[in-house]
Amino acid sequence: MSQTTKTWDARQLPAVSDRHIDPHAYPNGVAFLDGQYLPMSQAKVSVLDWGFLHSDATYDTVHVWNGGFFRLDQHLDRFFAGLEKLRMTIPFDRDGVSEILHDCVALSGLRAAYVEMLCTRGASPTFSRDPRQAVNRFMAFAVPFGSVANTEQLQRGLRVAISDKVRIPPASVDPAIKNYHWLDLVRGLYDAYDRGAETALILDFNGNVAEGPGFNVFCVKDGKLSTPAIGVLPGITRRTVFDLCSEEGLAATATDVSVAALKAADEVFITSTAGGIMPVTEIDGAAIAGGKVGPVTSRLMTLYWQKHDDPAWSSPVRYP
């Protein structure tokens, strides 16, 4: 189990003294690294870590809203499944990781937080190129809650561009392992910015819509919802939309979503732990739903945030 220094209080965390550190470059928050809780500005990894050198890492992000974790069990399930698929081991079990996440949030004092757990391949003590010799490194941190969409965008809907970049195919990297292979997504973002849009969707290897940088996408047509089935990270927020739809008696399926179908949809929204359900009202310069946030999207957004008060979906942070 963890050898964590639980007696630490956020107010006693060492002050940032290194003069080369720009205090504004780091958000408030607390990280867990090498058995210690640290301010974000002091949470550092080696440049020799394969997580940094080769994107050899997996992670998960859960949010805290009104002092409670939302669907933490599902995030832990996905994280531990990713570790197993990548043949990584960490010195903590589910309860151990959960305890560290609670501690990071509690020490930070944040009531609304973006909480990340991650594991890198690590580095080999002998600089071997054999990944089996690397010492895997677990870390976690809690920083203030952040959203893919800002308040204005949540109200008026996001302007999205569909890039022709193709998401790394599942035969190369299993998309169910949450990962940092983001060059396709980042290239898509630049395409979007070049075209005056705020964020991007990229394609799967068949030319259908896949996902965007850290979010899934849904469209609504004649009251029925669909979301891309292949080549996407199975998001917990995406799953939450399915759960809300079944409670509401709405039909929702994971299937191929063509670019044409997305552009012809009645409503479009994106989903992420960083922001929840977020409306899209413009795609490639053309209005969706007459440029207004549609009724199905609005209803799901309301239900999504209401579920944060439901003890079946939300667990209180163990603040001191």
Ligand X SMILES: *Cc1c(COP(=O)(O)O)cnc(C)c1O
Q: How far is the CB of 69 from ligand X (least distance, A)?
A: 13
Determine how many CB atoms are found less than 10 A away from the CB of residue 255.
12
Stretch that binds ligand X, among 105-113, 195-203, 265-273, 299-307 (CB under 6 A): 265-273
Query: Of the two residues 50 and 218, which places its CB atom closer to ligand X in the complex?
Result: 218
Q: Does 307 bind ligand X (CB under 6 A)?
A: no
In terms of CB distance, is 50 or 70 closer to ligand X?
A: 70
- Count CA within 13 A, CB hemisphere, residue 61: 22
Contact map string, positions 191 to 230, toward ligand X, x by CB under 6 A: --------------------x--xxx--------------
- DSSP code of 129? S
Structure tokens that stand for 253 in this block: 């399926």
Nearest residue to the partner ligand X, using Cβ: 235
Closest CA to 289 of 309, 267, 315: 267
Q: Any idea what the Cα angle at residue 294 is, between residues 293 and 297, rounded to 5°?
A: 90
Is the CB of 109 or the CB of 234 nearer to ligand X?
Answer: 234
Strand-pairing partners, residue 279, are 269
Q: Is 163 in the site for ligand X (CB under 6 A)?
A: no
**CB 214 to ligand X: min, Å:** 5
Query: Does 177 help bind ligand X (rule: CB under 6 A)?
Result: no
Task: Fill in the DSSP letter of residue 266.
Answer: S
**Which of 160/233 has CB closer to ligand X?**
233
314 CB-near residues (< 8 Å, 6+ apart): 65, 68, 69, 70, 71, 307, 308
Place of tokens 């960490």: 90
Does 314 engage in binding with ligand X (CB under 6 A)?
no
Q: What is the Cα–Cα distance from 216 to 213, expressed in whole angstroms?
A: 9
Q: In what order do the strands lie in the sheet with 314-316?
A: 36-39, 30-33, 135-144, 113-123, 57-65, 68-70, 314-316
Binding of residue 233 to ligand X (CB under 6 A)? yes
Residues that contact ligand X, how many (by CB under 6 A): 14
* List 163, 272, 281, 314, residue binding ligand X (CB under 6 A): 272
Of 38 and 62, the one with the shorter C-beta distance to ligand X is 62
DSSP state of 307: G
Answer yes or no whether residue 271 interacts with ligand X by CB under 6 A. yes
Pick the binder of ligand X from 231, 235, 279, 294 (CB under 6 A).
Answer: 235
Closest to ligand X by CB, 29 vs 228, is 228
Calculate helix-pair angle for 295-306, 236-248, nearest 10 degrees. Answer: 110
Based on the shown chain and the rule CB under 6 A, indicate whether residue 237 belongs to the binding site for ligand X: yes
Q: Which of 166, 210, 161, 219 is nearest to 190 (CA)?
A: 161
Residues between 27 and 66 that touch ligand X (CB under 6 A): 61
Binding site for ligand X (CB under 6 A): 61, 178, 211, 214-216, 233, 235-238, 271-273
